[in-house]
């Protein structure tokens, strides 16, 4: 791929298939619109897949992990060692996303993009882009090369998913401090102050949230003058996993695979992806509304309608995994229901 592969054209939804899917919805044995969002989900998937019989499987889950230098500023309720420790938990099957992936019958690919521990673990794909990012209150989070490689890591994950015949991709994330990075990046992309978007992350109290906002504002004062381009904003304020997620969403749109976006961190990565290449927006489905305060603003900026609102804020791709059955049922209803003519049921008079 070229150095700026993410600017290449995204695939376009099939307008003829979309119209045929809409027409089918009008003839199914139900009042029009009575299945609400499930109807539009099926139509959108049909158009994206160019297939009158859309499917939300096979499913693929890639979990991107990375550490963040800004943790040394005291922005997390958990120690940084948890990132590496959770990698072991993921591959041993003990994490929430591990349980959900098993229930869904989906592969769970775990990638260590760059953690402080840097330990080689069986079952973890290790890229070693660095021992976490730099502390962005003092310097850019990533070098240009690290940023490019992290974006590429997301695209490479999608390439593996495509070989496996995947029709629905989920990106998860793990990284102590990554709500701080996501908030800082969202502040630049939305031109908002930290106080409007910051949240408790792993469980900070009110004083901890206020401190986190102050740390983010220090970083913004240093980097905002240099963030005219979204890629530079990512390099300066993002993280390895945020870059990989954005790269994955862009590659999904270019390769023709629908992506189900998880919570706050993943949605910020999706916002970045849309800023890098607006054509990817049609390929994104949004799983849930996170309890993180800043998530609502990011969803609004993307004109996104989440499928679930369960007060989740775990990350890992867990909210997206919980939403998969809704997409699967939307497809099953679209394909499996009888039309009025097939069922010999009287239609509503014109």
Element (H, E) at 276: helix 264-276
Q: What 3-state class would DSSP assign to 63?
A: strand
CA distances from 265 to 101, 196, 333, 337 (A): 20, 16, 31, 37
Angle at 149 between CA 148 and CA 150, to 5 degrees: 90
Q: What are the structure tokens assigned to 39, written together?
A: 């109807």
Q: CA 112 from chain center: how many Å?
A: 17
Q: Assess whether 109 carries a catalytic annotation.
A: no
Q: What are the structure tokens assigned to 8, written together?
A: 């290449």
What CA–CA distance (Å, rounded) separates 264 from 178? 10
- Catalytic residue (choose from 102, 217, 316, 342): 316
Q: What 3-state class would DSSP assign to 118?
A: coil
Q: Hunting for tokens 């381009």 — which residue is that?
A: 229
What CA–CA distance (Å, rounded) separates 179 from 238? 10
What positions carry a catalytic annotation?
316
């Amino acid at each position: 791929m070229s150095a700026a592969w993410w600017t290449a054209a995204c695939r376009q939804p099939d307008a003829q298939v979309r119209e045929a899917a809409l027409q089918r919805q009008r003839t199914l044995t139900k009042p029009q619109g009575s299945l609400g969002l499930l109807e539009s989900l099926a139509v959108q998937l049909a158009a994206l897949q160019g297939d009158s019989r859309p499917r939300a499987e096979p499913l693929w889950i890639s979990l991107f992990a990375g550490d963040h230098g800004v943790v040394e500023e005291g922005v997390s309720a958990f120690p940084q060692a948890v990132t590496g420790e959770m990698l072991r938990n993921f591959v041993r099957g003990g994490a929430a996303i591990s349980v959900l992936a098993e229930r869904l019958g989906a592969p769970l690919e775990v990638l260590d993009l760059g953690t402080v521990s840097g330990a080689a673990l069986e079952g973890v794909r290790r890229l070693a882009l660095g021992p976490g990012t730099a502390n962005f209150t003092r310097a850019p989070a990533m070098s240009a090369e690290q940023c490019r490689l992290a974006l590429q890591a997301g695209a490479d994950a999608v390439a593996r998913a495509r070989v496996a015949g995947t029709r629905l991709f989920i990106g998860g994330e793990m990284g102590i401090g990554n709500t701080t990075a996501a908030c800082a990046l969202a502040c630049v992309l939305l031109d908002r102050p930290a106080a409007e978007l910051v949240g408790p992350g792993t469980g900070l109290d009110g004083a901890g949230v206020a401190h986190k906002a102050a740390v983010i504002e220090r970083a913004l004062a240093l980097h905002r003058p240099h963030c005219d381009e979204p890629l530079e904003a990512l390099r300066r304020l993002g993280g390895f996993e945020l870059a990989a997620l954005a790269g994955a969403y862009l590659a999904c749109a270019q390769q023709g695979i629908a992506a189900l976006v998880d919570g706050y961190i993943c949605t910020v990565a999706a916002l970045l992806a849309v800023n890098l290449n607006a054509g990817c927006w049609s390929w994104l489905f949004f799983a849930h509304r996170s309890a993180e305060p800043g998530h609502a603003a990011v969803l609004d900026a993307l004109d996104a309608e989440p499928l679930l609102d369960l007060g989740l804020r775990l990350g890992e791709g867990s909210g997206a995994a919980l939403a998969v059955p809704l997409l699967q049922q939307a497809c099953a209803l679209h394909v499996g229901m009888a039309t009025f003519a097939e069922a010999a049921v009287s239609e509503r008079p014109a």
